[in-house]
């Protein structure tokens, strides 16, 4: 087993409770760590035997384009789709951070993280 990490994927999206967040949007940073078996890909050196992290990125990009009032449903949609679309994923950790959230003071980002195994959904 090994971990594949996609660090600081940046998206501009329209998630949030407040009207300005839904109309103006905000930057979000997404990080995912995926545990998967790499033994076959290590032997064959073929993409079809590996977890294609370009497809992982595209899945996350698709979900980031669907508006949510809260980060929680967005986070769980991505987790569920990753486990559904990639049967080789054993474990994953996913975090979504809203950059400069409108909290009335200086906060660089606020984030939500889910981590666990497939059977923990």
Comparing C-alpha atoms, which of 22, 28, 3, 10 is closest to residue 100? 28
Q: List active site positions.
A: 98
Three-class DSSP category at 23? helix
What are the tokens at 102?
């409108």
Is residue 89 within 8 A of residue 118, CB to CB? The reply is: yes
Buried b (16+ CB within 10 A) or exposed e, 86-101: beebebbbbbbbbeeb
The label of the residue with tokens 């998206």 reads: 11
How many helices (H) and strands (E) the chain has is answered by 4, 4
């Amino acid at each position: 087993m090994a971990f594949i990490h996609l660090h600081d994927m940046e998206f501009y999206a329209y998630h949030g409770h407040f009207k300005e967040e839904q109309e103006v949007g905000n930057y979000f940073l997404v990080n995912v760590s995926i545990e998967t078996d790499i033994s076959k890909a290590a032997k064959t050196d073929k993409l079809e035997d590996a977890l294609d992290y370009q497809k992982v990125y595209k899945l996350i990009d698709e979900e980031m384009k669907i508006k949510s009032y809260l980060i929680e449903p967005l986070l769980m949609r991505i987790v569920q789709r990753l486990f559904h679309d990639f049967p080789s994923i054993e474990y994953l950790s996913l975090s979504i951070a809203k950059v400069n959230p409108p909290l009335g003071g200086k906060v660089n980002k606020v984030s939500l993280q889910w981590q666990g195994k497939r059977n923990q959904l």
